Amino acid sequence: MTDWGVYLVTQESLSGDRTTRAVVEAAIDGGVDVVQLREKDRSARERYHLGRKLRALTREEGVTFVVNDRVDLAAAVDADGVHLGDDDLPVAVARERLGEEALVGRSVSFVDDARRAERAGADYLGVGAVYATGSKGDIDDDEHEIGPERVGEIADAVDIPVVGIGGVTADNAAPVVEAGADGVAVITAVTRADDPEAATRDLAETVADARED
């Protein structure tokens, strides 16, 4: 069963001079629970080769591994699942292609969309953008800075795990979890940190403490 506490979304262009593999290795040492291969600016072939390496690494360490957007790549690298946005294949199609055991996640910002995704068979939801973020420049204004309160409304409306994403750091993750999220997803809070391992550990501790409150 997947723990959604700390969910790392990779993006080497937002990782300073570090490789994605180095960031993932550090995050695993820091206690990351889920790794999502994003790498929006890379070709499918490049993501495939990187995905195979990350799949081997995460499998060895017992970390859940999913692929952003691409159902075909998720299947090709034998990922645990795929995470879908508004412009990607429908949840039901991803389920058909990847099988019943695969994880299928869906990005949502509104309660109605969350309910529809759950009915379609999504296993978990990425909800955001919770706070201001520069990592996702293609989101609409009404999907920007929705705040922990909206995350809580969505968590209350569905029976599947909810992960808050967008501008989340160790300093502001607690309200997201306290509102009802099962965990938080981050990019730059780990990839740009001076010490990605320590940054991951700080996030994990923040999430654990918030769950107890």
Nearest-10 crossing angle of helices 20-30, 44-61: 20
The rounded distance, in Å, linking the Cα atoms of 184 and 67 is 17
Helix (H) or strand (E) holding 42: none
Six-digit token string for 19: 């490789």
Contact 173, 206 (CB under 8 A): yes
Task: Say which residues have a Cβ less than 8 Å from residue 137's Cβ, sequence separation at least 6.
Answer: none
Cα–Cα separations (whole angstroms), residue 169 to 79, 88, 158, 163, 183: 26, 27, 25, 13, 12
Nearest alpha carbon to residue 164 among 199, 191, 129, 121:
129
CA angle 199–200–202, rounded 5-degree value: 65
CB 98 within 8 A of CB 122: no
Which residues have a catalytic role annotated?
A: 38, 107, 136
At position 61, the amino acid (one-letter code) is E
